Amino acid sequence: MITRLAPASLRAVPQQYQGIYVHGTQITAPQSFLFLSGQIGVSPDGKTHTGFEQQCHQAMDNVEALLKDGDLDTSDILRVVYYVTDAVFLPELSKLRQARWNQGHPPAVTPLVVAALAAPDLLVEIEVTAVR
C-alpha cells in the first residue's frame, strides 16, 4: 500500500505544485518504507528561516514531523542526502547532525554542495529514506 504524506504540522504544498510534489511517500508491506522529498528551512507558516543553522534545524524538524506522520522516527532512517549551497556549511552540518541525529546506528549519508536550491534564499535541503 502506498500512502502520500502531507501532515498539517508542515507547510501545505503550494497550489502550483499539488499533483507533482508530496512531502513523503510511504510503502507499507511487511516493512514500512518512507521516501521523503527534500525538506527545507521553511516553517509551517511559510516563513523561510535566515541563516544556515536555523534553516537546518527547521528542515530537520520537517523531516521528524514526516517520520512521525509515517509512524517512524529518526532511528528508522536508512539514508540521508544533504544538499548545501556552500562548502563552508559542511562543518556546521556535521555538528548539527552529531547533536541531533547521532543515535548509534548511522544511516548512509551523502552531503552534496550544489550551486542552488529551489529558491535563492535556501541554504540546505535534506532528503531522507526510512524503513521499519
pTM attached to this predicted model: 0.85
What is the mean predicted confidence (pLDDT) over 17-23? 81
pLDDT one-digit tens code per residue, 38-72: 999 999 999 999 999 999 999 999 999 999 999 99
Domains of the chain: total: 1
- Say which CATH number the domain at 8 has: 3.30.1330.40
Tell me if 45 sits within 8 A of 97, measured CB to CB: no
3-state secondary structure the chain: CEEEECCCCCCCCCHHHECCECCEEEEECCCEEEEECCEECECCCCCECCCHHHHHHHHHHHHHHHHHHCCCCHHHEEEEEEEECCHHHHHHHHHHHHHHHCCCCCCEEEEEECCCCCCCCCCEEEEEEEEC
E strand map for 6-123: 24-28, 32-36, 39-40, 77-84, 108-113
- Residue 53 is placed in which grid cell? 543553522
Residue span of the structural domain in which 106 resides: 2-131
Q: What is the model's pLDDT at position 112? A: 98
pLDDT one-digit tens code per residue, 23-32: 988 888 888 8
